[in-house]
Structure 1
Amino acid sequence: MSNAFDLKEFADRFVALWNEPDPEARGALVRGLWAPDAVQVLTDPPQEMREAAQALAFPAPPLEVRGHAALNARVTRAYEMFIKAGENVFVSGAEPYEPMAGVVCLRWKMRATGTGEDVGGGFDVISLDAEGRIRSDHQFIETS
């Protein structure tokens, strides 16, 4: 990426997206952060999905959404499930880093608002386009 690319600012915007309560602002953040044809892949799906796939003799499938509308629906659903009730908030984890040009790695945590305890988190490996927007995001979920 160019010298003007600020990894910390990018990571802060990425995490803020998942906490955004206003649907219009959330949609604007999706459009600003992600390329129109971007993809997010949940690489390691939840245990229930892995067990269901295994019961059918299938390998656990990654989950994938593509494009602004699907990404907005994904972010909205995560907000509704984990943030809306006010019990949790997403925060940045370790400092983001760029292992090679156009690739950003970042950690995030889901923190209980009442106790300050980390109750989950994840690691994202993000590929950026020439404008610094997300082209692909492979997300790995960690449980506490």
Structure 2
Amino acid sequence: MDTIATDYLATWNAQGEERNSLLHKHFADHATYTDPMAAAAGTAELDAVIGAVQQQFPGMTFTQIGDVDSHHQQLRFQWGLGPAGEGPIVIGFDVIVLDDDGRIADVRGFLDKVPA
């Protein structure tokens, strides 16, 4: 499950064709994503959400905070978003549910710390 979290965050950090490739590799075509700021259904909408976050926080990187907790086909972990090598300015918590093929089918995101 650690690999799933790593691949998930790599997708959020990628741009252009690399992000598109990672989305199709790690996410089910019908994947859904929901957090307090956005909702997406399918890889095209998720690509747009990730692109919008990258525009809002240019040059920032998603990193994992702490360990992954998992059971059955679901995992949860905390992440941070901030300048490379510095502390995060945004901290969140995601729950990921995998499909029967081990691809990401659903993500529920929570924001624990956001800038004022």
TM-score, shorter chain, exceeding 0.5: yes
1:73 matched residue in structure 2 = 48
Shift of 1:96: 1.0
Q: Which residue in the other structure is 2:73 paired with?
A: 102
CA distance in 1, matches of 2:65, 2:113: 14
1:57 aligns with none
Count matched residues: 114
Instruction: Please state whether the residue corresponding to 1:27 is helix, strand or coil.
Output: helix
**RMSD (CA atoms):** 1.5
Query: Over residues 45-82 of structure 1, what are the superposed CA-to-partner deviations in whole Å (9 max), with x where a residue is unaligned?
Result: 4xxxxxxxxxxxxxxxxx42101110111111112221
Q: 2:31 aligns with which of 38, 55, 78?
A: 38
**1:10 aligned residue (4, 12, 36):** 4
Name the SS of the counterpart of 1:118 in structure 2: coil
**Identical pairs, percent:** 25
Identify unmatched segments of 5+ residues in structure 1: 1-6, 46-62
Q: Paired residue for 2:65, among 82, 93, 105?
A: 93
Measured in 2, the distance between the counterparts of 1:68 and 1:18 equals: 12
**TM-score, scaled to structure 2:** 0.88
The aligned residue for residue 107 of structure 2 is 137
Which is higher, the Rg of structure 1 or of structure 2?
1
TM-score, with length taken from structure 1: 0.73
Gap runs ≥5 in structure 2:
none
Structure 1: 4+ residue segments shifted above 2 A: none
